[in-house]
């Protein structure tokens, strides 16, 4: 099995998520009767479907993604066509956006996917590095990673809803139970999301390895990740300085209204989908969608 060392723990975590879902369904049947089963199943499918549709639309809209002109970026289009032909998959839509940072992300499913590349990324990377990043995003679509993540997030939402209703309908159904239900639901959802995020981190390792297989070597992607990481750090430093300068200006000019830069919001909204996210401390890495950058680079070069 390809990527056995990564896919085995990913399969274990996925099995745990399925187990959580089954526990939630059984708990709902015990609390509300067996008649709740078809409602729970249909509701689960609808919830996950709505989350998938809204998530894709929101991600593209948040960065103002536009179609990648084929005349101007013919090499990228031709590369994607070659990879899709090799993988026997439909060519995804290619889009470009001003994200404020060098990055890329994929949304959608196999047969109806979209890859978004930032202008900053195209300007930063050479051809081989850019192709490896695009291959990484194509791997996410080919492996149905986006759908898997939506399923995981949907399961977390379903379990939280079941927990909330159980608290409400097994208590006095008063204001105290209402607030207790909200607290319990959030705690349960956060606990399950930790497992979903673990799957997301494994997905990144698999997509890196798949991109390496496509290109034939991991060095271009390793260099690309280094450049992306450095570019993001520089952007964060500049944003921090700009925020400090704006704060100083606001203190001098209380009557003037300042505007928050759009790029910071964009990076935060789509960071879970992007090829790179900020490296953090140990506790923050547990709730991160991406593994530490240095570990990914080390795997590609080992």
Give 89 or 246, the one with higher predicted confidence.
89
Verify whether residue 85 is a known catalytic residue.
no
Identify which has the larger pLDDT, 161 or 6: 161
Domain contains 254? no
Does residue 152 sit within a domain?
yes
As a whole number, mean pLDDT of residues 38-53 equals 83
Residue 272 in any domain: the answer is no
pLDDT at 77: 97
Instruction: Label residue 259 by pLDDT band (50, 70, 90).
Output: very low
- 125 assigned to some structural domain: yes
Q: How many structural domains does the chain have?
A: 1
Domain range for 82 is 4-220
Residue 56 has pLDDT above 80, yes or no: yes
What number is the average pLDDT over the span 231-249?
60
Residue 29 lies in a domain: yes
Residue 225 clears pLDDT 50, i.e. is over it: yes
Whether 127 is covered by a domain: the verdict is yes
Active-site position among 120, 137, 204, 212: 137
In a domain, 69, yes or no: yes
Q: Which of 58-72, 131-145, 250-264 has the lowest mean pLDDT?
A: 250-264
The pLDDT value given to residue 9: 67
Looking at the predicted structure, is the pLDDT value of residue 5 above 70? Answer: no
- The better pLDDT of the pair 171, 203 is held by 203
pLDDT one-digit tens code per residue, 166-175:
888 877 777 8
The confidence score (pLDDT) of residue 264 equals 44
Q: What is the pLDDT of residue 130?
A: 96
Specify the pLDDT at position 128: 94
Residue 48: inside a domain, yes or no?
A: yes
Structure tokens at 80: 């994607």
């Amino acid at each position: 099995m390809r990527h056995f060392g990564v896919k085995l723990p990913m399969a274990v975590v996925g099995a745990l998520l399925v187990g959580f879902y089954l526990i939630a369904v059984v708990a709902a049947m015990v609390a509300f009767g067996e008649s709740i089963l078809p409602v729970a199943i249909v509701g689960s499918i609808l919830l996950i479907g709505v989350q998938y549709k809204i998530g894709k639309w929101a991600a593209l809209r948040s960065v103002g993604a536009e179609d990648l002109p084929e005349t101007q970026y013919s090499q990228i289009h031709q590369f994607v066509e070659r990879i899709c032909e090799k993988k026997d998959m439909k060519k995804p839509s290619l889009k470009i956006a001003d994200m404020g940072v060098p990055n890329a992300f994929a949304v959608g499913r196999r047969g109806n996917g979209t890859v978004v590349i930032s202008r900053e990324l195209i300007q930063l990377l050479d051809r081989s590095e850019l192709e490896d990043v695009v291959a990484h995003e194509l791997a996410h679509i080919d492996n149905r990673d986006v759908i898997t993540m939506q399923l995981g997030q949907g399961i977390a939402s379903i379990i939280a809803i079941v927990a909330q209703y159980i608290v409400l309908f097994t208590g006095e159904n008063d204001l105290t139970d209402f607030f207790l239900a909200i607290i319990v639901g959030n705690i349960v959802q956060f606990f399950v999301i930790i497992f979903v995020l673990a799957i997301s981190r494994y997905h990144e390792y698999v997509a890196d390895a798949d991109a390496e297989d496509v290109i034939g070597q991991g060095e271009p992607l390793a260099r690309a990740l280094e450049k992306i990481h450095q570019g993001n750090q520089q952007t964060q430093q500049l944003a921090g300085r700009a925020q400090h300068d704006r704060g100083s200006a606001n203190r001098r000019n209380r009557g003037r209204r300042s505007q928050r830069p759009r790029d910071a919001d964009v990076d935060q909204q789509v960071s879970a989908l992007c090829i790179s996210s900020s490296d953090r401390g140990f506790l923050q890495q547990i709730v991160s969608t991406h593994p530490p950058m240095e570990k990914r680079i080390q795997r590609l070069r080992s």
